Structures are given as C-alpha cells and as structure tokens.
Structure 1
Amino acid sequence: MAERPIGRQKAQSANRVDGRGDGPVTRTVVLDAALAIIDREGVDGLSMRRLAEAVGRDPMVIYRHLPNKAAVLDGVAEIVFEQLSVDVTDTDWATRLRVVARDFRRLALAHPRVVPLLVTHPLATPLGLRPAALVRPLEAILELLTRAGFSGADALHIYRALFGFLYGHVLNELQEIVERPEETDEVLRLGLYRLPIEQFPLVRELAPVLAAYDGELELERGLDILLTGLTATLSGPVR
C-alpha cells in the first residue's frame, strides 16, 4: 500500500475503556485511559493510582503492563504519534511534508496537554532509547526523501528542519495566551502595556498583528519559507 502508517492506528472507540469496565485490561486499554486523564487534567493529574481507578482495577494490574509513570508517559506519546502517517511513495515530497506538518499540528491541537510529551520529553531521551513509534516518523520521512532522490544526509537535514519548525510552532501556538480577552485594544489584551515603549517599540507597533495570530496561516507561511529555503539551498534530489 502507498500509505505507510507510523505505527498502528488507534483502536475504534467501541473497543476502548475510558473509566471502569469489566473487559480485559491490556496495555492499550491502560494507555487510552492515561491519554484521557492527561487530556482532561494534564500530566500532573496522572498517577498510577489514578490510572488504576480509571480502569477499575488494582494498581498492581497496571504495573504488569507498565512499570512506572515514565513508561506510561512514553506510551501515551506513542499512541498519539501512531496516528501520524506518511505516504513514502509520494513523488511530490514537499507536498507530502506539508501534509505531515498539518497532521502533526492537528494532533497537537487535539491533545494540547500531551504536547510536552511529543515535543520536549523525547529530546531528553537518546534516539535509540525512544519508543519505536517516536522514531518511525524519522525513518518514514528519510525513506520518502531518499526515494525522491535526496542523499541520506540531506534527508536528515530536511527532517530536522521540518520538525524543529513544527515543535516551535505548536508550542508557540498553544502559548498564545490572551491575558484580558474582554479588552478590545490589542496592547491591553496582550499585556503589552507592561513593556516600556522606548525599549520595545517594534513589538508594541506589531500589537495588531500579534493579536490577530492565526495558527493555521502561520503554519502555512512558515512551511512556505522553510520548504522554499530547503529547495534553494540543497543541491536537490539526485536523479
């Protein structure tokens, strides 16, 4: 098949346990429950005891599948990343990378409290020690780009540039906090009145632009800049 899923697709909702149930407790059931907790309460709201309560079992049942909270967090990152897919046979590599970028943003916005597990947590773990699902995007994109004719080294540069941009983008988008939404003046809503105008004239001047932040448009503009730059600076696919 042309479409290569990065890991398994998430199970259908009918096969999941979100809360107490009488079905068998599997690793998938535990991780789905953990994802539901994090989506509602954040990573700090997750504990092994809280997780056991969510699946209606003794905590020792949880430990049979996942030895500690760190393993649970890795597993949650896995099941989210596994929803990402790459068509490695697509000959239009730039368009395919745009699709990957849009899908990554969609996952991040669907699970904003999981984003630290997708973005910052893996960076603290050596590549070879990360869960396989977190490494498969790298493998798939390397295959996509080398199939298109790029050298392995250039394919790696493109992957790093793309995901470096994506990680920064989703963190920035999720942190676009409006301090005083009832205010119509952009300077007040963004708290820019706290910045001395003589020290930050350009930031203050851009208040209307900052207030009109559109994550989707910012992503597309960033991809335009990134992919145009990569096309111009790399030697291009070897034919």
Structure 2
Amino acid sequence: MTRQVEAARRIPLNRERVLRAAVELADAGGIESLSMRRLAQELGVVPMALYKHVANKEELLDGMVDVVIGEIDPPVRDSDWHGVVRRRILSARQVLLRHRWASQVIESRTSPTPAVLEYLDSMIGAFRAGGLSVDLTHHVMHALGSRLLGFTQELFDDSPSPGTAEADRDADPDAEAVPDAEAAMLRQMAARYPHIAELALSAAHDQESTVGRSCDDQFEFEFALDLLLDGFERLRQQGWSSTDRPPRASA
C-alpha cells in the first residue's frame, strides 16, 4: 500500500486523473462513499491539492458525469435513424450498468453538464437527419426522457420482495416457507390490491441488470424503447404535427 501511494505521488496530478479516480471510487463503494478526503488519500495527495483541479464537490460530480457520458459509443453516419438511436441508447445503458451510481448523480444535477448537452445535441441531430420534423423531435425527446441516457424512473417496483415465498424459492429451493403471519399479510394485500399482486408474483426480473432503484431489467428497457422508436417512425411517415391534435375539451 505504501509503495502504491508513493507511486501515485510521483504521477503529476491533473483534472482527468482526479475525475477518473473519483469514478473508480464510486464504482467500488457507491457514490455515498466518495469524499474529497478519501479521494485525496487514493491519489496520495493532501485534500487541498484537489481544489486546483475541481472547485468543489459539485464540480467533481459534474466532471464524473462527463467521464461516464464520454464512454457512450460515438454517433455513426447511417440513413437508418432508428438503428443509430437504438444502438446509442443501449450503449448508454451498458455504461450506466458499469457505473450504477451515475443515474442518481445525473438526476441530481441542476443543469446538464457539457458532455450531456453534447450527447443530447447529437441525438437530436440523429432524429433530424432521419427525417423527423423539429416539432416531432421535440415531443420525441420528452417521450424518451431519461431513457435517452440509459435509465428510467418506474412507477413502482413490481419485483417480488425478498420476504415472499416465491423469492425465497427462487433463491433456494430448499428454503423454509415464510411465517404464517407474513403469508397472511401477503394474502390480505393481494385481496385488497389484486392486480398489483398479480403482476408482482408473476414478474421475473434479473436483479443484476437493474439501474438505480427501479425494476428495470434489460428486456423491459428494450421492450419499451422499441415501442417508442417504432411509434416515432409511424408518426414520421404520417407527417404528424402537434398542431393537428384535436382541441382539448373544456372543463
């Protein structure tokens, strides 16, 4: 450990090195484990040395977001806008699966970072190059939301909780049944909210593919993404315009 610290001290400190070290710390222990003091220790410098490269913790987080977004595959020239957009969004998702803290930090930013703005600008450019009007592209961006960056916010988590008998059996076929009191509570909840219970007990999710806190595995992500992209293409072919919408009914 001492040799590693000494070796780190001999490498000139710069902004990129600070940001990449911060990303590695967050990857290893979560964003909550990251502090300026711990980052300085990792780099083998005093905390004040960091402030020559990042003004404060918020600027550090902004820079970390830019490092992560920079890992998304670059845009490619292709007449198939649908394929271009799909590949980049799925690339963004894979990046966030490598950096599971990143969606939380992206959402916490009060304004988009330069890398996020550049990414969004290139995605808008892909829609426009594919023949989508400015009007349709505007609504497409709203419809995709954070999905453009590889994650979504779900209405609720419909994955079975670890305490249910179904989850216990999946984890260990020989596991004991849940206590009678808990089973009774589950039956009571199912009776009161039958449709939620039906979904929760029938859903099969890959917990390793979850981004953030939501129930959002790869299949579900691609399923919704493809529905949206196919819908956008139909609207493009129809020459859709927001001005063609029927007037809203008066209250």
TM-score if structure 1 supplies the norm length? 0.75
Q: How does 1:24-39 map to 2 (within 5 A)?
A: 24-39=12-27
| Whole-angstrom CA distance in 1 between matches of 2:200 and 2:161 | 12
* More displaced 10-residue stretch of structure 1: 175-184 or 216-225: 175-184
Could you say which structure has the larger radius of gyration? Answer: 2
Matched, 1:199 2:184: no
Matched, 1:85 2:67: no
Q: How many equivalent residue pairs? A: 210
**Structure 1 runs (4+) greater than 6 angstroms displaced:** 185-188
Q: Deviation at 1:114?
A: 2.1
Cα distance change on mapping 1:82 and 1:145 into 2, 3 Å: same
Cα distance change on mapping 1:164 and 1:48 into 2, 3 Å: closer
Mind listing any 5+ residue stretches in structure 1 that lack a counterpart?
A: 1-16
| Whole-angstrom CA distance in 1 between matches of 2:234 and 2:128 | 18
CA RMSD of aligned residues (A): 3.1
| Whole-angstrom CA distance in 2 between matches of 1:144 and 1:40 | 35
Q: Deviation at 1:234?
A: 4.2
Cα pair 2:160 2:200 within 8 Å, conserved? no
| Whole-angstrom CA distance in 2 between matches of 1:228 and 1:156 | 16
Q: Deviation at 1:228?
A: 2.1
Q: How does 1:83-162 map to 2 (within 5 A)?
A: 83-118=71-106, 120-122=107-109, 124-125=110-111, 130-162=112-144
Matched, 1:230 2:232: yes
Q: Deviation at 1:194?
A: 8.0
| Whole-angstrom CA distance in 1 between matches of 2:160 and 2:144 | 25
Q: Which has the higher contact order (CA 8 A, sep 6+)?
A: 1
Identity %: 28
TM-score if structure 2 supplies the norm length? 0.72
Q: Deviation at 1:108?
A: 1.3
Q: Which amino acid aligns with 1:43?
A: I
Match of 2:205 among 210, 213, 219: 213
Q: Which amino acid aligns with 2:126?
A: L
Q: Which amino acid aligns with 1:148?
A: G
Matched, 1:179 2:162: yes
Q: Which amino acid aligns with 1:232?
A: R
Cα pair 1:150 1:236 within 8 Å, conserved? no
Mind listing any 5+ residue stretches in structure 2 that lack a counterpart?
A: 172-176, 207-216, 241-251
Cα pair 2:89 2:149 within 8 Å, conserved? no
Q: Deviation at 1:170?
A: 4.6
